[in-house]
């Protein structure tokens, strides 16, 4: 999951940076002659260009996975849900979905900017988009796991921003298709 990847990567790289600093601080206590210091200045450009080049492949790879509604990630038969934010509540056109189907949230706002953040029942952020007055952002997501999901507001919108929540249910595909439950 991306959160764990981000945390682990950050810790490792930051630790490396810290170790490099500690090494150089330790080396700073003795003074070399000027010739040695001039030599140390020569590798500055090399390190600079090395660091720069190392970033290039990372940039390309990181653009592979994008959440935007592009033709490549469209579903043939999505469930379309209208999601509207206003100070300080959410309105969803339906709140029961089957797992395994692509849900296409059409997200907008009536008044000010809000953030449409979907949390799973372990309070882990699953996906999000902004809810903006005058614009409709299309957020596609396929819920693999049944459960109760919460929508939290992720853009500051005034006094009760922290309390602007709603929830919906994702049911196992077989349950969702039974006649007792709501269909899209």
Comparison of 60 and 179: residue with beta carbon closer to another protein: 60
Comparison of 31 and 77: residue with beta carbon closer to another protein: 31
CB of 118 to another protein, least distance (A): 10
Backbone angles phi, psi at 36, to 5 degrees: -65, -40
User: Alpha-carbon distance 33 to 30, whole Å?
Assistant: 10
User: Alpha-carbon distance 114 to 131, whole Å?
Assistant: 5
CB of 83 to another protein, least distance (A): 13
CA 20 vs. chain centroid, Å, equals: 30
CB of 50 to another protein, least distance (A): 9
User: Alpha-carbon distance 126 to 112, whole Å?
Assistant: 23
> Dihedral through CA 69, CA 95, CA 4, CA 72, nearest 10?
-20
CB of 176 to another protein, least distance (A): 25
Comparison of 130 and 171: residue with beta carbon closer to another protein: 130
Comparison of 134 and 179: residue with beta carbon closer to another protein: 134
Comparison of 143 and 176: residue with beta carbon closer to another protein: 143
Question: What b-and-e string marks burial along 87-125, b requiring 16 or more CB atoms within 10 Å of the CB?
Answer: bbebebeebebbbebbbbbebbbeebebbbbbbeeeeee
CB of 168 to another protein, least distance (A): 17
Residue with tokens 């764990």: 4
């Amino acid at each position: 999951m991306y959160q764990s990847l981000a945390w682990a990567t950050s810790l490792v790289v930051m630790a490396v940076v810290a170790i490099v600093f500690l090494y150089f601080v330790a080396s700073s206590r003795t003074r070399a002659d000027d010739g040695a210091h001039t030599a140390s200045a020569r590798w500055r450009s090399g390190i600079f260009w090395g660091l720069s080049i190392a970033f290039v492949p990372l940039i390309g790879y990181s653009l592979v996975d994008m959440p935007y509604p592009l033709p490549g990630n469209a579903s043939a038969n999505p469930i379309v849900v209208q999601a509207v934010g206003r100070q300080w509540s959410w309105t969803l056109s339906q709140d029961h979905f089957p797992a395994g189907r692509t849900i296409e949230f059409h997200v907008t706002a009536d008044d000010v900017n809000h953030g449409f953040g979907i949390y799973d029942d372990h309070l882990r952020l699953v996906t999000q988009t902004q809810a903006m007055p005058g614009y409709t952002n299309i957020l596609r997501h396929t819920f693999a796991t049944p459960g109760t999901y919460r929508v939290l507001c992720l853009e500051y919108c005034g006094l009760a921003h922290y309390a602007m929540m709603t929830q919906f249910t994702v049911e196992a595909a077989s349950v969702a298709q039974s006649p007792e439950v709501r269909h899209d």
